[in-house]
Amino acid sequence: MSVARTAVLHATGGPEAIAWEDRPLPAPGPGEVLLRHHAIGVNYIDIYHRSGLYPLSLPSGLGSEGAGVIEAVGEGVEHVAPGDRVAYAGGPLGAYAEARVMPAAPLVKLPDAISFEEAAAVMLKGLTVHYLFRRTVPIRPGDTVLFLPAAGGTGLIACQWARSEGIRLIGAAGGAAKCALAREHGAAETIDMRTQDLAAEARRLTGGRGVDVVMDGVGRDSFIASLDALRPLGTMISFGNASGKVEPFDIGLLAAKGSLMLTRPTLFTHIADPAVLRRMAAELFEKVISGAIRPRIDQRRPLAEAAAAHRALEARATTGATVLLP
């Protein structure tokens, strides 16, 4: 039986909590595959799991996104076969590994036109953008969306997605360089969260009206300002906690600020049905192959440097996507 170098959490904590073990690779059981990774995506949700913000049953694997080649399949697996190039976002944690045995259901076939690194950079982030723009609230060409943070892996995909569909996206990011990067990728305007007032600038850019939708992945530090950036009857999509968990608040605040709507979705609810996942992935891949979305990978690290990748992401010292290479 072969083994694979695998990240394991025996306790939650800082990046130093990531331990490494040589884990055996048994033959896949019914509904499972043996997958050899070629690239692994790093996402902020990995930090939530590692830190304990999202509780885990320990010991646990780490990582939700990867791409590679199937080496073996178990009984009953029909939609993928040995030798297939595949990618995934979701399923049991454990992507930080050279290879793994995992359920086949989260896997989608990867078109030859998309590299393993591109897939590891776009699956979780791109599917997140898909559900934000197409499955949460109706967003039409000409609508104005405020997106933050706009210069990370998810934000840069969102900028491109909005541009491809005629949606005006105002991107908020930390610093002039990150704002310029967001504009380069399709943001119509940007707000520098280090030097400008988020809500006041969003209202100025909309002639005092406010934006139709806010997509906020920052969380605690921007929550109230994001609500204040909305027009009456606007929608706040709080989809991440990069700055920490949003504090409890009086629901009456939504009424006082203009009968606002608020939702806190997760990608994994949207892709729980494998048939829905495959449709979403096909639409995402179509945008990548057409060139409407070009995944930007600014950080490539060996798998063994996962802790350093987490430190950089937490320090907001990254742009675009980070991938780990086994």
In the chain, beta strands by DSSP E:
3-9, 18-24, 32-42, 65-73, 85-89, 99-103, 108-109, 144-148, 168-173, 189-192, 211-216, 230-238, 261-263, 297-302, 321-325
Q: Beta strand pairing status for 297-302 and 321-325? A: parallel
Cβ-contact 37, 66 below 8 angstroms: yes
Residue with tokens 């060139």: 291
Q: Minimal CA–CA distance to 122: which of 7, 289, 240?
A: 289
pLDDT digit string, tens, across residues 181-230:
999 999 999 999 999 999 999 999 999 999 999 999 999 999 999 999 99
Output the CA angle 301-306-310, nearest 5 degrees. Answer: 105
With a cut of 90, say whether residue 1 has pLDDT above it: no
> What is the pLDDT, as a whole number, of residue 242?
84
With a cut of 90, say whether residue 319 has pLDDT above it: no
Q: How confident is the model at residue 234 (pLDDT cuts 50, 70, 90)?
A: very high
Alpha carbon distance, N-terminus to C-terminus of the chain: 19
Domain positions in the chain: 3-122+272-325, 141-264
pLDDT digit string, tens, across residues 94-144:
999 999 999 999 999 999 999 999 999 999 999 999 999 999 999 999 999
CATH architecture, range 141-264: 3-Layer(aba) Sandwich (3.40)
Q: Using CA atoms, how far apart are residues 326 and 189, in angstroms rounded to an integer?
A: 38
Residue 147 tokens, joined: 């997106």
- pLDDT, mean of residues 219-244: 95
Residue 118 tokens, joined: 């591109």
Question: DSSP class of residue 141?
Answer: T
Q: Using CA atoms, how far apart are residues 315 and 243, in angstroms rounded to an integer?
A: 10
> What is the pLDDT, as a whole number, of residue 316?
85
Question: DSSP class of residue 206?
Answer: T
In 104-174, beta strands by DSSP E:
108-109, 144-148, 168-173
Residue 68: count of CB within 10 angstroms of its CB: 26
Assigned fold of 3-122+272-325: Quinone Oxidoreductase; Chain A, domain 1 (3.90.180)
With a cut of 80, say whether residue 302 has pLDDT above it: yes
> What is the pLDDT, as a whole number, of residue 212?
98
- b/e code 306-320 from CB counts within 10 Å (16+ = b): bbebbebbbebebbb
